[in-house]
Copies of this chain bind each other. A is one copy, B any other.
Amino acid sequence: MTTLEHDAGPLVSLADYGQAARARLPERARAYIDGGAGDETSLADNLAAWNRLALAPRVLTGAGTADTAVTVLGRRRPHPVIIAPTAFAALAHPDGETAIARGADATATTICLSTLASTPPAALAAAVPDVSRWCQLYVFRDRGVTRELIATAEAHGFEALVLTADRPVLGVRGRERRHDVRPAAASKGPGAAVNLRAPADFSAQIDAALTWDDVAKLASQTALPVVVKGILSAHDARLACAHGAAAVVVSNHGGRQLDTVLSGADALPAVVDAVAGEIEVLVDGGIRRGTDVVKALALGARAVMVGRPVLWGLAIDGAAGVQRVLELLLDELATALVLTGAGAVGALGPDTVLPAPWARS
Chain A interface (Cβ within 8 Å of chain B)?
Answer: 4-5, 7-8, 10, 12-13, 15-16, 38-39, 41, 44-45, 48-49, 51-65, 165-166, 168-172, 174, 177-178, 180, 199-200, 203, 207-212, 214-215, 228, 230-233, 235-236, 239, 257-263, 266, 289-291, 331-332, 335-336, 338-340, 354, 356-361
Contacts and interface: CB of A to CB of B under 8 A. Distances in A.
B64 A5 contact: no
B171 A335 contact: yes
B172 A290 contact: yes
A284 to B, nearest CB: 15
B360 A64 contact: no
A39 B289 contact: yes
B332 A55 contact: no
Contacts of A171: 335, 339
Contacts of A339: 166, 168-169, 171, 257-258
A171 B228 CA distance: 36
A210 B54 contact: no
Given A289-B39, A359-B361, A335 B172 contact: yes
Given A54-B260, A57-B258, A359-B360, 20 more contacts: A4-B169, A8-B177, A8-B178, A10-B178, A38-B289, A39-B51, A39-B289, A41-B356, A41-B358, A44-B358, A49-B357, A57-B166, A58-B235, A59-B231, A59-B236, A60-B211, A60-B214, A65-B209, A356-B361, A360-B361
Contacts of A336: 172, 258
26 contacts: A4-B170, A4-B203, A8-B178, A13-B172, A38-B289, A41-B51, A41-B356, A54-B261, A56-B233, A58-B233, A58-B235, A59-B236, A60-B211, A60-B212, A60-B236, A61-B211, A62-B211, A168-B338, A168-B339, A170-B335, A172-B332, A258-B291, A258-B336, A258-B339, A259-B291, A262-B357
A178 B230 CA distance: 36
A169 B337 CA distance: 11
A291 B260 contact: yes
Contacts of A15: 39
A4 B257 CA distance: 13
- Count copies of this chain in the complex: 4
B5 A52 contact: no
A266 B169 contact: no
Contacts of A55: 258, 260-261
A176 to B, nearest CB: 9
A38 B165 CA distance: 33
Contacts of A61: 211
A80 B236 CA distance: 28
B170 A5 contact: yes
Contacts of A5: 169-170, 199-200, 203
Contacts of A290: 172
Contacts of A203: 4-5
A38, A236, A261, A358: most-surrounded residue (chain B CB, <10 A): A358
